[in-house]
Amino acid sequence: MSMRILIVEDENPIAHYLGDLCGKVLSERAPQIAFAESLDAAEDYLRNHEIDLCLLDLNLNGESGFDLLKTTLSNAFHTIVITANEEEAVQAFEYGVLDFIPKPFDEERLEKAFQRYFERSENREVVTRFLTVRKDQQNIVLPVSQIRYFKAAGIYVEAHLRNGRIEILDKTMDRLQQILPARFVRIHRSFLVDIAEIAAYRHVGGGSYQVRLHGGDQLPLSRQKYRDLHEILNYN
């Protein structure tokens, strides 16, 4: 299946250089690459097209790429930011970006970023502090610190908050796991839980296992994740 990429970059030579590198690195995936020179153009494209990955310059001819980043956190795709400013990159990680490519960049650095995308593995050093959901024609910011656990719900994911609210995210469990802090552990194919919320875990008979959260919630625990959780909790 072809990979769909949106490059948001106001300098045309850099945008097309980046596009050419994407074509080389992803040659076997026949990438479909689109370009946007401004936030308005990017937002318009995203309203009308689905993508897998956004490559976003944080400085767009006087506009801030953060404005787009904050409104697209609710979307299913991942974002990789491109900037020469490391302080901006650190801030961008708080909003759940997958990776940061410093300018100037080359094919090797871009290839590493794509490896990260395809590996679908979590980054133990991420500092994501916020997620967003699209609701009632506006973007609602969810502080990650207020989320107890995530539950897969068909093609969506439910974020269960400490105040009892449930919000719906477009990102898949696998993509969420790539950008969430290490304290969120996968206990089942359908559940990601803040480890501080776990009060107890046990074998309940047969091949069934269970996690009990502070507050009384009972969640399923897979056999393999039981072993993983036991190692994590005993190591800590």
Q: How does residue 126 score in pLDDT terms, banded at 50, 70 and 90?
A: low
Cβ contacts of 111 within 8 Å, gap of 6 or more: 25
**11-25 residue pLDDT tens:** 999 999 999 999 999
* pLDDT at residue number 95: 84
CA 214 to chain centre: 26
Q: How far apart are CA 116 and CA 100, in angstroms?
A: 11
Cβ contacts of 149 within 8 Å, gap of 6 or more: 160, 191, 192, 193, 194, 197, 213, 217, 219
Ordered by where they begin, the domains of the chain are 4-119 (3.40.50.2300), 133-235 (2.40.50.1020)
**149-183 residue pLDDT tens:** 999 998 889 999 999 999 999 888 888 888 898 88
* pLDDT at residue number 123: 52
Whether the model pTM is above 0.85: no
Alpha helices of the chain — where are they, by DSSP H? 12-25, 39-48, 65-72, 86-93, 107-119, 173-179, 223-235
Identify any residues that bridge with 135 across adjacent strands, giving them in sequence order.
138
Arithmetic mean of pLDDT, 107-111:
92
The tokens for 44 are: 């318009």
Please tell me the least confidently modeled range out of 89-103, 112-126, 199-213. 112-126
Q: How does residue 76 score in pLDDT terms, banded at 50, 70 and 90?
A: confident
Cα dist. 153→64, 159, 191, 228 in Å? 34, 10, 10, 23
For the chain, how big is the Rg over CA atoms in Å? 19
**44-72 residue pLDDT tens:** 999 899 999 999 999 888 888 888 888 77
Please tell me the least confidently modeled range out of 41-45, 96-100, 192-196. 96-100
Q: Does 143 sit behind a cis peptide bond, omega within 30 degrees of 0 on the bond before it?
A: no
* Residue 124 in this model has a pLDDT that exceeds 60: no
Helix axes 86-93, 65-72, angle to 10 degrees: 10
* pLDDT at residue number 120: 61
Going by their DSSP bridges, the two strands 53-57 and 78-83 should be labelled as parallel
Q: How far apart are CA 215 and CA 162, in angstroms?
A: 10
Q: How far apart are CA 34 and CA 172, in angstroms?
A: 23
Q: How far apart are CA 35 and CA 147, in angstroms?
A: 35
